[in-house]
Chain A
Amino acid sequence: MNLAETIRSESQEILDRGGAIVGQCLNAVGFVNGTIPEIYDEDKIIELPMTETAGMGFSVGLALSGRDVVHIIRFQSFLFLQSSPLVFYANLANELWDYEIPLIVRAIGDEGWHGPVHSNCYHSMFANMGIDVFVPMTPKEYTQALSMAHGCPMLMSEHRHGYHLTDEWYDALDTNTTHPDNEIVIIAISATRIEAIKAREVLNKKYGDNYVGVVHIKYLNSLWDPMNPDMESVMEANNVLITDASDALPGSFINDLNAMRMMFRKSSKEINIGTLTTFNSVTRVREEYRRGYPKAQDIIEWVEAHGR
């Protein structure tokens, strides 16, 4: 089963236990890339009118009433207008009133010349606001993220470029970065994980096995979270490159990396930390917009510029 099929299957389970899927244009346009069950039931698959803030507010209220709710945002650009009820009401309701808001927001990133507005991810800023942000790219990761739901809202940052991926794809990768010979470790997020693997194959062929390691991030709120791979070994490398399909890193990552650099710094070595993300969300620089999220070639160029 690939990721899209897994999302559909998990969605069906949510519906079977009385939940609801809410969003705009759900069943009229391919059932969201085949990621939701193909059923027509106004009580289960709830079509919203073309409204951003009110639509998210509706989903928050529905979750507050006790139903498990999956709110779908077809392109992450809509997150800006939809974020208010999520970030303020849903995110704070438990602290203020002990409310449970079992809400999963599926925000889907993409790229492919749909225009500047529909081509990007914006998940990092929500991790900074305290919303649980998961970035699953495989079926097992998606299921694991869902199992973390605990009555508080969560943001599932998906990417259309990953819907075809399978657990077999991930299991076949040699992603072990605990090898002491890793010169460079790439901490890869979202669709850049695919590109990081491609870059790693080229670079390791050229410079030797274990020259580059890749760490796959699934949870954005803390590098140290058990969902993310063991990060201690990352600091054995001379260079760390973080790649993301979003335009900025979560603040927690920057804090965690600085703290780790202090903790694990070898006596006479400075660790070089670089980042490769998309340019500004709505960029004025046409070349940067054309590039989109970092591709394998961008990663190779960075590594060759910074590695020994």
Chain B
Amino acid sequence: MRNLFWEKLLRSYWFDESCYKAIKNGKVKCFTYLSSGQEWVSAAVAAALEEEGIRPYVFAQHRNHAPYLCFGGDPMRLRDELLGRDEEGTSYGIGGDPCHADSKAKIVGHIGLIADQVPVAVGHCFGTREPSVVFLGDGAVEEDYFAPALGMAAKHKLPILFIVEDNDLSVLTPKSARRDWKVVDVAEAYGLEAYDIGINDISKLSEVSSYWAELDTKPTLLNVHCKRKYWHVCFDKGFGINEEYMIPGESHRLLFDIIGDYSEADVGFCSLGTRDKGEGSIKSEMEKLWKA
């Protein structure tokens, strides 16, 4: 599982690092929502489900690079969409960054309104009765679309997993300024299983995801604490690193940045060769994408 996890995490991380460079040098002009800092969430969930043999339908939100790449989306098409290439992009070059879809990977497109994917996912899951994973943010749970959809998922006992990537920011406004309630309490009140997962707690996230996959996929919500590395949105005229992310010594630094704390045995790079080689080949694969 750890190989899968690191492979997915590295792919998403290096795609976004290369994308950030492309934004800075004006190659990408559209509003771009980078997953950097949060990719460990998608990587852990995707790896856990893949280990269990589950290929879910995936519904993500505007910050969707990590879910898209970790669940098997084509990075070339993602790049092409960001570059506005109409025939090759995920959404005919007109969707910008929020809308990526990949039918082969069962990744369903998002229209750009936060949380509107939640009831669409619930309705779709009702129709297919197949496992589905929905990614959304801590701001999205406050939207009108969200709570009633939870109720419908519970009422119809749908095989659906909601992953709230709780980076504590709605653009720049922290949760403390917006609300006093917790989404796990809301989810439990609606009849879902609900868990709070601490920052960088890969083990618990993987364990709970595997549990969901293995044991009949009841409607479940995981509120996963994480931190985003870059600004809410980056584009050619405005980009930067989230100030909070740069505070030294804090545990919310990108997991990859603190990889030195883990031994090679922990992260299990055996089949990729040494950690450096494994990382290097994925890094150069993603960097090459942006040179094309």
Binding site for B on A (CB under 8 A): 46, 48-49, 51-67, 81, 84-85, 88-89, 92-93, 95-97, 99
Contacts and interface: CB of A to CB of B under 8 A. Distances in A.
6 contacts: A54-B152, A55-B148, A58-B123, A59-B123, A65-B126, A96-B91
B109 interface: yes
Closest 6 CB pairs of A and B: A61-B123, A65-B127, A57-B119, A51-B148, A58-B123, A61-B120
Interface string B92-117: 10110001010100001101110010
B123 to A, nearest CB: 3
B119 A64 contact: no
A97 B90 CA distance: 7
Interface in B106-162: 108-109, 111-113, 116, 118-128, 144-149, 151-152, 155
B62 to A, nearest CB: 13
Given A66-B127, A95-B92, A84 B113 contact: yes
Interface residues of B, number: 34
Contacts of A54: 118-119, 122, 144-149, 152
Given A49-B152, A96-B91, A96-B99, A58 B126 contact: yes
Contacts of A56: 119
B120 A96 contact: no
A55 B119 contact: yes
A62 B123 contact: yes
A60 B92 contact: no
A60 B91 contact: no
Contacts of A97: 90-91, 99, 101, 103, 109
Contacts of A67: 127
Contacts of B109: 93, 96-97, 99
A64 B120 contact: yes
A58 B92 contact: no
A interface secondary structure, majority: helix
A61 B149 CA distance: 11
B124 A65 contact: yes
A64 B119 CA distance: 12
A67 B112 CA distance: 24
A144 B2 CA distance: 58
B183 to A, nearest CB: 16
B108 A57 contact: no
Given A54-B122, A58-B123, 7 more contacts: A53-B144, A64-B127, A65-B123, A65-B128, A88-B113, A92-B111, A96-B101
Contacts of B148: 49, 51, 54-55
Nearest to B144: A53
Given A62-B126, A62-B127, A96-B101, A85 B95 contact: no
B119 A85 contact: yes
Contacts of A49: 148, 151-152, 155
B111 A58 contact: no
B132 to A, nearest CB: 10
Residue from A48, A89, A99 having most chain B Cβ neighbours under 10 A: A89
A61 B119 contact: yes
Given A54-B146, A57-B145, A99-B109, A89 B120 contact: yes
A93 B111 CA distance: 8
Contacts of B124: 61-62, 64-65
Given A54-B148, A66-B127, A61 B116 contact: no
A87 B70 CA distance: 30
A54 B101 CA distance: 21
Contacts of B125: 61, 65
A67 to B, nearest CB: 5
A62 B92 CA distance: 24
B181 to A, nearest CB: 18
A84 B99 CA distance: 16
A96 B121 CA distance: 17
B227 to A, nearest CB: 29
B127 A61 contact: yes
Contact of A58 (B99, B122, B147): B122
Contacts of B152: 48-49, 54, 58
Nearest to B147: A54
A95 B116 contact: no
A104 to B, nearest CB: 15
Nearest to B130: A65
A235 to B, nearest CB: 38
B199 to A, nearest CB: 30
A144 to B, nearest CB: 28
A69 B155 CA distance: 20
B119 A84 contact: no
Contact of B108 (A62, A63, A64, A92): A64
A61 B122 CA distance: 7
Nearest to B112: A88
B122 A88 contact: no
Contacts of B92: 95-96
A85 B117 CA distance: 9
A88 B91 contact: no
A88 B113 CA distance: 9
Contacts of B111: 88-89, 92-93, 96
Contacts of A93: 109, 111
Nearest to A99: B109
B286 to A, nearest CB: 24
Contacts of B119: 53-58, 60-61, 85
